[in-house]
Structure 1
Amino acid sequence: MKRLSFYTAVGFFFLICSPGSHSAFGQDFVRGKLGIFVKTDQKEYQAKKNNEIAPGTFLRLFLFPEKNCFIYSFHSDGNSVEALHPPRQIITRDSLILPASNTFYEIGAEDKTASFYLIISSEPISELNRISTKLPVEQWGKIQRDLMKKSRILDNPDNNLPFSLAGNVRGEEDSFNASFIDKLPVSSGRKLILRTYDFQIKK
């Protein structure tokens, strides 16, 4: 997978957002929008859990939590897993778009498979904080299984509440990104939400 951006560091991202209030679930309740935009020569669409794409396909990742939380995102090429964004940073109520708001990841001809793991958590996840280099998929498999046990995604009526976008829309690309985020479904969970997107690369 080619990176059409300047990102080279790995680590985790601490996102500060306006605090929300969900008294029914307490401080560990998380709510947000996660998704992947897929762009080919023929069409543009929102990625599903399982996808089949061709080399030359462009991907842009979106993570947008509603309140204070930790954000993690990882990529696997089938052999190893690595973090996708720079070390810890702090911003105020905004979406995290990878590799950037105006660029994409490109699927290369040498790629056979690609998986992306998008995570928002109410607290830091020590297993993920320790990942500073590429991790063998076997080691990641155990971490993923543990995360899936903790990822209690809820079918919650709060998912239908308004979910406003923050920040100023300045240009055409920003307007497009805001529109895409607006169309993403809202996910709710206790402690953390993990979304996995698998891509099979057809030659």
Structure 2
Amino acid sequence: MSSIKVVLRELRQATLDGMAHSKEKLHQVADNLADHLEDLIRRVRAQDVFHGHGVPGPGSSSRPYVPNATRKPPGMDDQEYVDILQASVHNPDGLEAILGKFRVPGTASYIDVAEGKVPPATYFSLGDDWETIADAHQLTDRDMFDSFNVPFLERVIAEGKPITFSHNPLDYPGSALADELDFLESHGYRFDATKMQAILRSR
């Protein structure tokens, strides 16, 4: 019986020693994991920044948008162009982009739809400045679309935001909304009328 007690005592001590050793190892593993996580966070923060030239993105973006300088209207100052692009993008931190019509009787404006999202969605609008800019630089509506609407769409594509329509673009042929859909389709999107979204086609 005494020999059994000795064995049990030795087993108990071995177990305690093993637990102490394991506890020390666990602390070491935890410390290593914490150090690795902190290093990972530092590296992500260093990479996850916006590198656009004066035009803020939707918070941090791993696919930052850089404006296409060739879209700038002839004779317009570079800084003026950047300022207008920046002013045209509302709620840049939105989780999705809204495209649609401004005035359609019986329906909400795309701006109201965007502002009603939580958080408010991103949308394009130059408001009354549209006519002012067009008159000052002798630009047609097509010129304005190419210089300002298109960069907005390029930015949304670069940022990978979901694109939702407040109005069906197929109901307004020849409109800027239809032209926006045409542009998206030329860049790999398709329109899903059931979801009212532009969906990126699978490769």
User: Given the two structures, how large is their TM-score scaled by the length of structure 1?
Assistant: 0.23
Q: Which has the higher contact order (CA 8 A, sep 6+)?
A: 1
Greater helix share, 1 or 2? 2
User: Given the two structures, how large is their TM-score scaled by the length of structure 2?
Assistant: 0.23
